[in-house]
Each structure stands twice: as structure tokens, then as C-alpha cells.
Amino acid sequence: MIDLNYLDGKTLALILWGNNKEGKSDIQVCFGTARKKGREILFDRAPSKNSFYLDQDLVSQIKLPDGSLQQLMKGAQFVLSLSVTSVDDEEDDIETLIRPKKRA
């Protein structure tokens, strides 16, 4: 697992693999900044998008992008790739797809 202190402040690409509304395979990529908050990581999508905490099992899956992904990921320093049941055009719905912990 990547050291949370090292991850803090780095750009993170969240890659969601699933089916679109037509039932066809699709990919959604969202970008944010990893923010260490205590022993947790906040996927910070500020200022215009909803930010949310990542569960520990998701944090353990964060990786460095390989060479081919680096260019596609718009320079994101880390990637988290997840399979979900569906992907949506609405980026604000991401947290419901991966079920992170809710915070006040």
C-alpha cells in the first residue's frame, strides 16, 4: 500500500469500468486530489464537484500509472481503477457507484 503521507496532495485519476445506460461497456475517468485526513484519504474534487472519502480497501488499490496510462490520465500521479455495475455521464454520482464513507 502507498504511504498516505506520500499520497497527500497528489493528483488522482479514478477510472470506473462498467456499462452505460445502453448496456454497453464504458469507462468514466474522474480527476481529483488525494488529501490525507487523519488515517483516511479524501478524494477532493473541489471546487465544483462533490468530494468524498475513500474506504481503506479502495486506498490500498491506488497505484502509480504505467507509462501508457500516464499520458491518457492527463498527468495524474496516481490511479485507482474500479469495476462498477454502471457508469453515468453525471460525475456527481460517482460516490454512489463506489459507496464511500459519508462524512459531514
**Cα 38 from Cα 68, distance rounded (Å):** 33
**Cα 60 from Cα 101, distance rounded (Å):** 15
Contact 32, 43 (CB under 8 A): yes
Q: How confident is the model at residue 55 (pLDDT cuts 50, 70, 90)?
A: confident
> Please, what is the average pLDDT of the chain?
82
The x, y and z cell numbers of residue 14, run together, are 479514478
This prediction's pTM: 0.78
Q: Count the Cβ atoms, other than its own, within 10 Å of residue 103.
A: 10
Residue 60 has pLDDT above 50, yes or no: yes
Please write the tens of the pLDDT for every residue from 17-48.
888 888 888 888 889 999 999 999 999 988 77
Q: How confident is the model at residue 101 (pLDDT cuts 50, 70, 90)?
A: very low
The x, y and z cell numbers of residue 68, run together, are 501508457
More confident residue, 31 or 70: 31
Domain boundaries, the chain: 4-98
Q: What is the identity of the amino acid at 94?
A: I
**Cα 3 from Cα 71, distance rounded (Å):** 24
